[in-house]
Chain A
């Protein structure tokens, strides 16, 4: 079994890379890109097999990479691979995106698959860069100024995140006494490392940028607004999970770190409410979904925080399950925007009911996958304040998602054309799958799905949803008009600060022009001589 799994793991990366290689031959390029829906199949298989059983670690010869698959990673891998397969197949059936888009897509896919199976620092860093940076090409190669802006902001955060993580990883590596770069080893050494706190801070900040953690949330609404629907579905569904798996992999498990736990939980809940509040101010369904992502990722962050607070060792599985559910539902919701925009007014009640179920699944509506996700998180949010905060966030989510359903009637322009026709036609199936697939996995990975059917649980799940929906309807009835908040809220301040930063450019230019004058350069050289001499003569 392990041999098969090892082969599948290697194939998971080899398949998209082989297609990428084929893109270099002009004759094969279009064919290769059209076939890329096949590339995640090994990953899907690996994910399904790896979901049960012990973690598997394989060192690749020559390249020096380590591949690693544990059940939480496998779950996310399987679900992400399925999403990539479905969307890629539909997209390339419907139209023929150009080479730049295709290659960006393939690179992002490779990185996305890779983050779930990378087992050492360097290869994780590599695939993490792959899932972050080429995604720029999926929405920003355009002359539209808003898209360019979104692209630039996205890339700025991606690169900044990379830089922060680079330093974090270097510290992790430095703290490992035997020079092993395997994530398992460095994480084992982390609690005793002298750089523990600095590394943790950087890790939280770095992955926080990927999951839109407040205050690094501004890029996400801009990005999803600018991205075409299939791209937004993938990035919000699968792409963001690179940050989640990052936190799962690089936060210590089974170790109690009170300070970090409290901080993480606090910032997580803050993000959860922040997303709801700012999402309510928006009317564009894509943007609302983006804020919902910020909120949901906040819940995940909070869960990881409470795990750290209590020293829970198995939080990673719970969080992974929650994210897997979010992955499916959020992607389906983005497709819903496209499907509804295409269908226009000819909407059957079945469709509408499905959409409602999908939207409220995020809030934990009983009988949906969301209910299971909530159940899975229960150990993290067990008890007093934390439990209350979690319930409040469920109410908020229900509120926000009802707002989303209300805004579906006015889809953003182009939504109908963006969504591949295949996905519009089969939308009910997709939505149903998103609602039901979690049930299939929950049992498989050792959860007890029947618990979710207990009357008490159903009641527990139902009332926050009801409160949220009622609140939303009440707000609608009151014709409450929210303040006008720009998409991406705090990002405008960041952009302003950046523009101010650009003012140092001329300062540097002046400095450089002056230093490049002959006398200045000559004097600099004399100063260098004198200072080196002084440095030497004055000892040490």
Chain B
């Protein structure tokens, strides 16, 4: 396979990256209301580009590549889009566009002011998150990915504390410092990889990598750094306060997409850089942490008094499921490995859409009722039917009930677990589903029962519809055909299965 040369359609990758980067600079320079206009105006182009990339990948049936400046790795930097990149690009573009349009009312520049701090920050950071995610999804060079990871952190942190309350500042600071810790671990791993093999291009490394202590140390450091940024239990300290305190549109992006960025790189590392090595034990460690995250996160979600904190802890739990992909898809050439792989990606997508929709709904709810205490939601579904429909549909996916992407993910995960004889993993999957049902019940049962609730503010229909549309996407994923799962396999290296 020629890894070092551009393929047809490869130029789309550069354009996809440059679009939000140009948007950041334009927004920053023009300032004021133009920042919003630039951000909103570029979203349709972003979606079109993402779809075009997905189309090209599907057409080619193999990854599309672009070598920047025509200079191939190891000296130059290559961009590559395979099946999972393409799917993530589309998901990110859609969710970011939804969050952007949802946020228009909250982050409009007020009348009589030329420019406001929160509006300018929001629109710039939103585009920066977008740019960083695109690079993460298509980047082929580990150092380039490091810069993108930092870009992602720098963009995400100001969103957490955008309203300036002290608790959001603490949350943002915890997030920033821990994320920096994570990136520096990652960077150390990159240095070791370069020292061991003289390249940090993912494809070249995959060919050269040897099971030496240096490589294992590099992998361990990079993984730990990425876990810190993904907030996998037990290093999830920063996530609940950060995601629960950010404005709804930001929470949706942070929970739905930003943590997936670092998770995506973990996938890249273990399945694309190290597929030739025996990673079974490490996979079990990651799966074990994921299982613990599922259980602890769900139990904690059950106990929360505030809706946004509940949803944030649910993210901790759902991130746990993602890490089951490591033991369940590590079999490479085995047939069950494909199910495990599809399951992992399906979970990424379903959670991204469902959680983004739920956070947006939580925002509508908090705005409309003036609070988000679960104890005071009695009868609230009567005044906010659409919002609770969204929460219910999102909950359906989180619980893993059909028809939803969440169900498909669990179905495939369980199949991989059963077929591979790794019975142990069925337990967290099933228990997590039960616990999720518990916390969704806690929100919905009182809201649907009789009670008097008065609205402080009439919710904006457009915001409700955007949230609903996102959760509907999670539901529609439940009808994904086999062709979609095959698409996810495009470009995935197959493990050497010899003992």
Contacts and interface: CB of A to CB of B under 8 A. Distances in A.
A509 interface: yes
Contacts of A195: 418
A529 B224 contact: yes
A516 B237 contact: yes
Interface in A484-540: 504-505, 508-509, 511-512, 515-518, 520-522, 524-526, 528-533, 535-540
Nearest to B418: A174
B30 interface: no
A505 B304 CA distance: 11
Interface stretch (A160-168, A337-345, A454-462): A160-168
A64 interface: yes
Interface in A129-184: 129, 133, 137, 140-143, 148, 151-152, 155, 159-160, 162-163, 166-167, 170-171, 173-174
B434 interface: yes
A37 B303 CA distance: 41
B167 interface: no
Contacts of B224: 525-526, 528-529, 532
Nearest to A162: B401
Contacts of B174: 518
Interface in B50-103: none
Given A174-B415, A525-B227, A142 B450 contact: yes
Nearest to A517: B237
A525 B228 contact: yes
A125 interface: yes
A537 B221 CA distance: 14
Given A167-B426, A173-B415, A535 B285 contact: yes
B166 interface: no
Given A133-B401, A509-B300, A525-B224, A100 B236 contact: no
Interface residues of A, number: 57
A531 B449 CA distance: 49
A510 B130 CA distance: 37
Contact of B402 (A126, A520, A530, A537): A126
Contacts of B277: 536
A277 B419 CA distance: 44
Interface stretch (B31-39, B40-48, B211-219): B211-219
A522 B235 CA distance: 8
A63 interface: yes
Interface residues of B, number: 61
A64 B448 contact: no
Interface string B266-297: 00000000000111111011000100000010
A172 to B, nearest CB: 10
A64 B479 contact: yes
A504 B299 contact: yes
A419 interface: no
B294 to A, nearest CB: 12
Contact of B410 (A166, A174, A516, A533): A166
Nearest to A127: B402
B234 A520 contact: yes
A321 to B, nearest CB: 30
A525 B303 contact: no
Contacts of B448: 100, 137, 141
Contacts of B415: 170, 173-174
Interface string A380-421: 000000000000000000000000000000000000000000
Nearest to B231: A521
Contacts, number: 147
B418 A163 contact: no
Contacts of A533: 213, 216-217, 220
B411 interface: yes
A522 B224 CA distance: 11
Contact of A505 (B240, B303, B434, B449): B303
A143 B450 contact: yes
Nearest to B215: A536
B419 A174 contact: yes
Contacts of B227: 525, 528
Interface in B413-437: 414-415, 418-419, 426, 430, 433-434, 437
B237 A521 contact: yes
B437 A159 contact: yes
A100 B451 CA distance: 13
Given A174-B415, A536-B211, A536-B216, A512 B402 contact: no
Contacts of B430: 163, 166-167
B185 interface: yes
A536 B282 contact: yes
A63 B235 CA distance: 40
Contacts of A141: 448-450
Contacts of A62: 479
Contacts of B402: 122, 125-126, 129
Contact of B178 (A509, A517, A521, A536): A521
Nearest to B240: A516
Given A508-B300, A533-B220, A126 B403 contact: yes
Contacts of B112: none
A532 B285 contact: yes
B344 to A, nearest CB: 16
Contact of A170 (B178, B213, B235, B414): B414
A370 to B, nearest CB: 37
A536 to B, nearest CB: 3
A159 B441 CA distance: 11
Interface string B169-191: 00000100010010001000000
Contact of A525 (B185, B279, B401): B185
Given A508-B296, A525-B224, A528-B227, A63 B479 contact: yes
Nearest to A536: B216
A540 B237 contact: no
B441 A155 contact: yes
A64 B424 CA distance: 30
B255 interface: no
Contacts of B289: 528
Contacts of A171: 418
A160 B431 CA distance: 9
Given A173-B415, A174-B418, A142 B449 contact: yes
B259 to A, nearest CB: 16
B246 interface: no
Given A64-B481, A137-B448, A159-B437, A540 B281 contact: yes
Residue in B284, B299, B402 whose Cβ sees the most chain A Cβ within 10 Å: B402
B216 A537 contact: yes
Contact of B280 (A137, A509, A528, A540): A540
B302 interface: yes
Interface string B398-414: 01111100000011001
Nearest to A505: B303
A163 B299 contact: no
Contact of A509 (B303, B399, B414): B303
Interface string A62-93: 11100000000000000000000000000000
A501 to B, nearest CB: 10
A497 to B, nearest CB: 15
Contact of B282 (A63, A167, A535): A535
B434 A159 contact: yes
A508 B299 contact: yes
B400 to A, nearest CB: 8
B303 A529 contact: no
B333 interface: no
Closest 3 CB pairs of A and B: A536-B216, A532-B220, A535-B281
Given A508-B300, A528-B235, A528-B289, 16 more contacts: A62-B479, A63-B479, A141-B448, A159-B437, A166-B414, A171-B418, A173-B415, A174-B415, A504-B299, A511-B296, A512-B296, A521-B178, A529-B185, A532-B219, A535-B285, A536-B277
19 contacts: A122-B402, A140-B445, A141-B450, A159-B437, A170-B418, A174-B418, A174-B419, A195-B418, A504-B299, A505-B303, A508-B296, A515-B236, A515-B237, A521-B235, A524-B234, A532-B220, A536-B211, A538-B281, A539-B278
